Structure 1
Amino acid sequence: MATRGETMHEFVAWPKTTRLFRDIIVTEKLDGTNAAIHISAFDKRAQSPYPGTAYTTVVGGTRYIVSAQSRKRIITPGKTTDNFGFAAWVYENAAQLVTLLGEGLHFGEWWGQGIQRGYARDLRSFSLFNTERYAGIRETVGTATLGVVPTLYVGMFSEKAIGTALGNLAASGSVAAPHFMRPEGICVYHTASRSVSKVTLDNNDAGKWEA
């Protein structure tokens, strides 16, 4: 046992170093609010209790627990407990979301009317981040749309490809909201390291991506 002034020394391995020149997925970065939907089949044997504020719905004879979160906390419908109405939308459309998404933790961006830059839209959307898992999803769910963030490039890591994607956004505007000429930037997902980086069109990254 360690005494005062001593520390326990244990082996800690250096994390595996991934190769840079592997596939990347470049998507449009949307300026909304980060959100996620939790969906799980009810299990009365579960050791961890479900949040008391979670919503329950039955789909195909199975009861599901559905909850919503913002970037920092679990959220629920209500003036002071929600985040731009995301939880209210999730609860109101829980059965359809369970059918479309299935079990899991589904991350995306809640964006559109009245959220951040708004994109000159009169409705809101939840755009999922995982472009491979949710490929093909594009549905109207209640008063909003459910889809996937736009993919701008898929292939080997390339600074040129990243610069081209940013240049196209700057010149042509948002892909997610056509004709909106103030897109935020891009996200770059590196498949080998499973990490995400961002490059924006504002002054924070000005000049760093232009050839």
Structure 2
Amino acid sequence: MTDFEFTPWPKTARLFRDVVITEKIDGTNAAVHIDDAGRVAAQSRNRIITPESDNFGFATWVHEHAADLACILGPGLHFGEWWGRGIQRGYGLESKRFSLFNTDRWFKTGPDGLDSMSTRAGLSGIADQISAVPVLYHGPFSEGAILWALQNLESDGSFAAPGFMNPEGICVFHTQTRSVFKVTLDHNDAGKWEAA
């Protein structure tokens, strides 16, 4: 008899599957919670936030637009970037915006083929304040596609804020592993905890 517990080797994912490359926007991580009853809450990277205990005004914005957000997004936890005036790079904007990370969900239509978060946002009072991060490439994993996306950002500037010539970089979502990787244009890809 043995006291050891069997631990199987995890399934090995395939690298050459689809990836979605999006612009990495330099703002602050945020999320909108919407429950099945339509109640809406906000969070930062580290905590639930309220208008009284806010993060760059995100909780206040969520509170003020709760009905629109519940209609646009529907139940779930919706992660994105809160960015614009007064946050990190600012992007030359006079206001702030929320850009969702899940681009597939943003554009996915309902059973009728017509309804999507994007469509509902366009019909709302906050159409200019909510979107998804810009998709730069969607297709098989390719180092060439990653380099192409970075070169386009470097030469053409931000796709999220056209005319802004100092974008941060890209995020690469690997669809099979459901993992996100980032590459920055400042070539500062060491983690904050790693030695320089």
Give the alignment's TM-score, normalised by structure 1.
0.79
Count of aligned pairs between the two proteins: 176
Letter of the 1:85 partner, please give it: G
Letter of the 1:68 partner, please give it: A
Q: CA deviation at 1:65?
A: 1.7
Residue of structure 1 in register with 2:19 after alignment: 24
Are positions 1:174 and 2:158 aligned together? yes
Residue of structure 1 in register with 2:194 after alignment: none
Are positions 1:36 and 2:31 aligned together? yes
Q: Tell whether the 8 Å contact from 2:84 to 2:90 is kept in structure 1 after alignment.
A: yes
C-alpha separation in 1, matches of 2:125 and 2:178 = 30
Residue of structure 1 in register with 2:47 after alignment: 73
Alignment of 1:192-211 (within 5 A): 192-205=176-189
Q: CA deviation at 1:102?
A: 0.4
Q: Tell whether the 8 Å contact from 2:68 to 2:126 is kept in structure 1 after alignment.
A: no
- Aligned residue for 1:98, secondary structure, equals helix
Q: CA deviation at 1:17?
A: 1.1
- Aligned residue for 2:42, secondary structure, equals strand
CA RMSD of aligned residues (A): 1.8
Name which of 113, 125, 148 aligns with 2:85: 113
Q: CA deviation at 1:15?
A: 2.2
Q: CA deviation at 1:142?
A: 4.9
C-alpha separation in 1, matches of 2:156 and 2:35 = 40
- Aligned residue for 2:39, secondary structure, equals strand
Q: CA deviation at 1:16?
A: 1.6
Distance 1:152 1:143, change over 3 A: closer
- Aligned residue for 2:99, secondary structure, equals strand
Distance 1:203 1:162, change over 3 A: closer
C-alpha separation in 1, matches of 2:4 and 2:85 = 54
Residue of structure 1 in register with 2:96 after alignment: 124
Deviations 1:39-80 (A, max 9, x none): 0123xxxxxxxxxxxxxxxxxxxxx221110001110002xx
Identity %: 61
Q: CA deviation at 1:12?
A: 2.6
- Aligned residue for 1:132, secondary structure, equals helix
Structure 2: runs of 5+ lacking an equivalent: 108-115, 191-196
Are positions 1:186 and 2:170 aligned together? yes
Structure ranking higher in strand proportion:
1
Deviations 1:142-174 (A, max 9, x none): 596100000000111000010000001000100
Structure 1: runs of 5+ lacking an equivalent: 1-7, 43-63, 207-211
Q: Tell whether the 8 Å contact from 1:110 to 1:125 is kept in structure 2 after alignment.
A: yes
- Aligned residue for 1:91, secondary structure, equals helix
Q: CA deviation at 1:9?
A: 3.5
Runs (4 or more) in structure 1 with deviation over 6 Å come to none
Letter of the 1:153 partner, please give it: Y
